């Protein structure tokens, strides 16, 4: 991910490096802002909520990570590929890796693009269990 920051000409500060480490570590859990903030506070106790928020916002704006809202909470997504997420009753969100689903998502993207004239930036499907 640091390569993406360099490509976007974003300075790699200690806070950004730690955010990247935490995001990578929590990648499969689709962490919330609060989960990310608590994890960073363990290694950088002086970091402010606004610093974490502004850095996450920058990463989302530059398309390095993605965010989505689930039950009033902003969650962060690392995978740029279209895929299905499964939200469990306990709030855990995980990726479903299934080749048939991936093919169907590709079909949806193609239909939206060719028939509706919508160029898809990203596609996120969230299914509740």
Distance CA 103, CA 100 (A): 5
The fold for domain 81-129 equals Dna Ligase; domain 1 (3.30.1490)
Instruction: Decide yes or no: CATH 3.40.50.2000 for domain 1-78.
Output: no
pLDDT, tens digit, 9 for 90 and up, residues 8-32: 888 888 888 899 899 989 888 899 9
Q: How confident is the model at residue 6 (pLDDT cuts 50, 70, 90)?
A: confident
Residues 38-44: what's their mean pLDDT?
93
Residues of the chain with CATH 1.10.10.10: 1-78
pLDDT at 78: 85
pLDDT at 118: 93
pLDDT, tens digit, 9 for 90 and up, residues 49-62: 999 999 999 999 98
Determine the Cα angle at 36 with ends 73 and 10, to 5°.
105
pLDDT at 1: 76
pTM of the model: 0.81
Residues of the chain with CATH 3.30.1490: 81-129
Query: Of 20, 2, 29, which Cα lies nearest the Cα of 95?
Result: 29
């Amino acid at each position: 991910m640091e390569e993406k920051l360099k490509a976007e000409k974003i300075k790699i500060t200690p806070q950004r490096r730690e955010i990247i480490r935490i995001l990578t570590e929590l990648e499969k859990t689709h962490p919330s802002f609060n989960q990310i903030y608590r994890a960073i506070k363990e290694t950088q106790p002086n970091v402010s909520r606004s610093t974490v928020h502004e850095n996450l916002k920058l990463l989302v704006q530059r398309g390095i990570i993605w965010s989505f809202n689930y039950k009033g909470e902003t969650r962060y997504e690392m995978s740029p590929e279209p895929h299905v997420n499964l939200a469990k009753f306990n709030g855990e969100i995980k990726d479903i890796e299934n080749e048939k689903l991936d093919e169907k998502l590709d079909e949806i993207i193609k239909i939206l693009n060719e028939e509706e004239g919508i160029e898809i930036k990203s596609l996120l499907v969230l299914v509740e269990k």
